[in-house]
Amino acid sequence: MRTTDPGDAARIELLLAELRLPAIKLVWASLAAQADKEGWPAGRFLAALAEHEIAERSRRRLERHLAEARLPPGKTLDSFDFEAVPVISKAQVMALAGDAWLNNGANLLLFGPPGGGKSHLAAALGFALVENGWRVLFTRTIDLVQRLQIARRELALEAAIAKLDKFHLLILDDIAYVTKDQAETSVLFELISARYERRSLLITANQPFGEWGKIFPDQAMTVAVVDRLVHHATIFEMNVESYRRRAALERKRSRGRPPTHATITANA
């Protein structure tokens, strides 16, 4: 049986490092030994190495994209109880998780009272999209607005917004927590205008558009923002009772207390 010459082995290590093929560098020796032992044709050996490098690269890419997405942990579609939100079907959401709506820069807007599952659903969709190869950033709207305000002060707003272009989807959680009392919320207007018909936004809000006059500096800007956002958008109105409160009530019921006696407590 032929085996790798020790001189070749040393050279291979150096060459693979130079070529930046770390995954192949890790496995080539044991794979070569197996190929020698089992008498693989050279082509098969090379294909196995290339496949390994590609699989490792895509695994590392996914890992990077998950880290940069800053999704809240544990919020997945699997752990989302669709029965609690009858207005949304699982099929609808699964279509959004795989679909190419992000190609056209379409938007998704989730409205509903606190506790209804908006952030959970947004994060779960974000996670599914990252797994499908898209790049996503999840952020509280306030945090991003503050970052953009700093950029504006440093005369770098345009660059900061352009940098966000690498994300196919920007999830702006709780847009209505931003108020125009905070100076210059027009950075949000700039962001939304810049992404219009190019890059997608997923926005969650406790109040639908009626209250958005409180977010933007003037009426004209509010109208312009709403106009751009809804032009290509799917809107889910999640008018359901707080999931936390419901879950607490169910726990009480299952302990045998009649539902009429169920009370809402501080930890509900």
Interface residue list for ligand ADP (CB under 6 A): 75, 79-81, 84-85, 112, 114-120, 243-244
In the list ligand ADP, Mg ion, none, the entry touching 120 (Cβ below 5 to 8 angstroms by class) is ligand ADP
Alpha helices in 164-242 (DSSP H): 186-195, 219-231
* Residue 107 binds Mg ion, judged by CB under 5 A: no
Which one, 204 or 222, has the nearer CB to Mg ion? 204
DSSP structural state of residue 73: T
Q: How far apart are CA 263 and CA 252, in angstroms?
A: 9
- The least distance separating ligand ADP from the CB of residue 94, rounded to whole angstroms, comes to 15
CA-CA distances (angstroms) from residue 92 to 16, 108, 132, 157, 232?
A: 46, 12, 17, 36, 16
Coil, helix or strand at residue 267: coil
* Residue 119 binds Mg ion, judged by CB under 5 A: yes
* Residue 186 binds Mg ion, judged by CB under 5 A: no
* Residue 141 binds Mg ion, judged by CB under 5 A: no
In the list ligand ADP, Mg ion, none, the entry touching 31 (Cβ below 5 to 8 angstroms by class) is none
Q: How far apart are CA 202 and CA 122, in angstroms?
A: 7
Beta-sheet strand order (sheet of 136-140): 136-140, 169-173, 200-205, 107-111, 233-237
In the list ligand ADP, Mg ion, none, the entry touching 195 (Cβ below 5 to 8 angstroms by class) is none
* Residue 139 binds Mg ion, judged by CB under 5 A: no
- The least distance separating ligand ADP from the CB of residue 34, rounded to whole angstroms, comes to 46
- The least distance separating Mg ion from the CB of residue 119, rounded to whole angstroms, comes to 3
**Binding footprint of Mg ion on the chain (CB under 5 A):** 119
